[in-house]
């Protein structure tokens, strides 16, 4: 299957950054992971504006990278074909940023212990939402268990699950609200574009 240009570039960049992490992980996490606003300056790490984007290219381990890149490939390719190169790039990074902002706001309100957020999941969840909106009747099969369902139902159930896990604090260490923030950012962008240009 031919992978569109931006999706291919994102896949390659994420893999290359992961390889670089093998040699300089502490430095990359310190400067480019998304650090919360309440990290004391004495900790030696702190929030910086570029982290709103750079955190999305870092991953905790190979499985984390694999799942995110699988989602990016599965959903991003079709979404890029619908949106085109320019809008797709804006869309993906818009979702990444809204995911980061959501994570920062929730972590500040909840006064969570300071820990960095990494991973492309915010952008991937935005792509998942777009896929469900553009191809609502396309069949999607869960990995575990392998249950086929229409894309609109898959997206709805996944979003509801993320909200439940985030509110209940289940699966700690996973940025559930960042995932929801990515979906929210994607919905706002698509709604805006549909209103102005007749995007289907």
Tens digits of residue pLDDT in 77-115: 999 999 999 999 999 999 999 999 999 998 888 887 778
Domain extent for 147? 5-197
Q: Please state, as a whole number, how many other Cβ atoms lie within 10 Å of the Cβ of residue 106.
A: 18
DSSP structural state of residue 33 = S
Rg (CA), the chain: 17
Separation of alpha carbons 47 and 149, rounded Å: 40
Secondary structure element (H or E) that encloses residue 41, with its range: none
In this prediction, residue 152 has a pLDDT band, given cuts at 50, 70 and 90, of: confident
Question: Across residues 50-58, what is the average pLDDT?
Answer: 96
Specify the CATH number for the domain of residue 146: 1.20.1540.10
Indicate the pTM of the whole model.
0.91
Domains in the chain: how many in total?
1
């Amino acid at each position: 299957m031919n992978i569109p240009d931006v999706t291919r570039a994102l896949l390659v960049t994420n893999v290359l950054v992961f390889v670089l992490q093998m040699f300089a992980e502490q430095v990359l996490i310190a400067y480019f992971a998304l650090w919360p606003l309440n990290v004391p300056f004495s900790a030696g790490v702190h929030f910086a504006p570029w982290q709103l984007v750079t955190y999305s290219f870092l991953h905790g381990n190979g499985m984390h990278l694999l799942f995110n890149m699988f989602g990016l490939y599965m959903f991003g390719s079709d979404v890029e074909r619908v949106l085109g190169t320019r809008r797709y790039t804006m869309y993906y990074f818009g979702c990444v940023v809204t995911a980061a902002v959501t994570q920062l706001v929730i972590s500040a309100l909840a006064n969570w212990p300071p820990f960095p957020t990494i991973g492309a999941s915010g952008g991937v969840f935005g792509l998942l939402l777009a896929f469900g909106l553009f191809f609502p009747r396309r069949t999607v099969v869960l990995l575990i268990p392998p249950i086929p369902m229409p894309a609109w139902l898959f997206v709805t159930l996944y979003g509801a699950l993320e909200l439940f896990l985030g509110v209940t604090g289940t699966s700690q260490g996973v940025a559930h609200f960042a995932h929801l923030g990515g979906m929210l950012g994607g919905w706002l962008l698509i709604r805006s574009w549909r209103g102005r240009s007749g995007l289907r």
